[in-house]
Amino acid sequence: MDRDLSEDDSVVDLSFEAESPLAPPAELLERLPSYDWLFQGGGQQIMFPPLEAPGRPLEQRCWSSFLEHRVPLVTEEVAREALLSFVSSKCCYGSTAAGDLIIQELKQQTLCRYRLETFSESRISEWTFQPFTNQSVDGPQRGTSPRLWDIKVQVPPMFQEDTRKFQVPHSSLVKECHKCHGRGRYKCSGCHGAGMVRCPSCSGAKRKAKQSRRCQMCSGSGRRRCSTCSGRGSKTCATCKGEKRLLHFIQLVIMWKNSLFEFVSEHRLNCPRELLAKAKGESLFKDENTAVYPIVDFPLREISLASQRGIAEHRAALSPRARVLQQRQTIELIPVTEVHYWYRGQTYVYYIYGTDHRVHVVDYPDRYCFGCTII
Ligand SMILES: [Zn+2]
Ligand SMILES: [Zn+2]
Ligand SMILES: [Zn+2]
């Protein structure tokens, strides 16, 4: 049976807009007396942490242990073993060359790696909302909202990054949903509220082209039930989940972040820098506190300068908006060996780096596939 749109009286006339912006209009939100400053700068504000207390005085450090520290030298035997274990871990490297090569020269150097890690906390506040389900409302009538840096929260373990959100006390208020204007539903955009759509099989012609039989899909009606709204013509409002009202409140977003500054001392070898940054080192010095002070008297001047630079860089980058909770600076020794070897009339080079003797091969004579495309 043919059905006309006008016959379908089950559809409620929903004249309001199906779409509306995600964020509530600013004028919708009443200004809470204690949070007026939030509206300066578009509703979201970065809070400035209170000033840090002056730190401890600089300590004199004794570096004599630095001179005593020695990383064991790599011998020819160790160099060959390291290469053999490297090639056996790769599918396309033959072990013959590693076994037969003649080591000509071992160039060794111990590098210093300086690292500064700064663990900081920053706080921002923003308006947000959720469907109101008759829960109790903690509004300004219950008291003044605390200032953002006065809200006490559980800090995650040091140097463990995290982001968490909290509801600011006494900042809540209930408003009619701005998307459905308090109706809980809005007009279906698939059928414009009709509940029915044109039959996709016969395009509304009621019968297929060049066929006299009426369309099977719509039983000749030319229309099908709208699949978006299951024929209801309206959909539950996604913003208020059909609750008609929203609970607006100020949300405190806390971010705990690690910042890293890294410096590897100058060297004459051609081992790639990114490998040296990851290399396993021998710990020489470790200093951890709520704030660390620049190393000034390390025997290697470039390390002292790196420490000063790193601390200044982190301070400049973080101090206006974040509070430093903990800092850690370390100095490690990174051994690097450049191995020159001879194999079947040619010379080649590879590197052994880190205390765990990792290998970086520049060119290897006994390699039988490229890029491991065939396994
Ligand atoms: Zn629909
Ligand atoms: Zn049809
Ligand atoms: Zn709604």
3 alpha carbon to ligand 2 midpoint, in Å? 12
* Cα–Cα distance measured from residue 106 to residue 72, given in angstroms and rounded to the nearest whole number: 14
CA atoms within 13 A on the CB side of 112: 21
Report yes or no on whether pTM surpasses 0.95.
no
* Cα–Cα distance measured from residue 338 to residue 106, given in angstroms and rounded to the nearest whole number: 6
12 alpha carbon to ligand 3 midpoint, in Å? 16
> Residue 315 corresponds to which tokens in the numbers above?
């301070």
Could you list the pLDDT tens digit for every one of the 375 residues in the chain? 444 444 333 333 444 444 433 444 454 444 444 444 444 444 455 555 555 544 444 455 666 666 566 677 889 999 999 998 998 888 778 888 888 889 999 999 889 999 999 999 999 999 999 999 999 999 999 999 999 999 999 999 999 999 999 999 999 999 999 999 999 998 998 999 999 999 888 887 777 666 677 888 888 888 999 999 999 999 999 999 999 999 999 999 999 999 999 999 987 788 888 888 889 999 989 999 999 999 988 888 999 999 999 999 999 999 878 999 999 999 999 999 999 999 888 999 999 999 999 999 888 887 776 555 444
For the CA of 221, the nearest ligand: 2
* Cα–Cα distance measured from residue 237 to residue 244, given in angstroms and rounded to the nearest whole number: 8
pLDDT of residue 213: 79
* Cα–Cα distance measured from residue 271 to residue 116, given in angstroms and rounded to the nearest whole number: 23
* Cα–Cα distance measured from residue 351 to residue 340, given in angstroms and rounded to the nearest whole number: 9
> Residue 8 corresponds to which tokens in the numbers above?
């379908």
144 alpha carbon to ligand 2 midpoint, in Å? 63
> Residue 274 corresponds to which tokens in the numbers above?
């990114």
Neighbours of ion ligand 3 (CB under 5 A): 177, 179-180, 237, 239-240
193 alpha carbon to ligand 3 midpoint, in Å? 17
28 alpha carbon to ligand 3 midpoint, in Å? 14
pLDDT of residue 99: 82
For the CA of 181, the nearest ligand: 3
Q: Which residues contact 315 (CB under 8 A, 6 or more apart)?
A: none
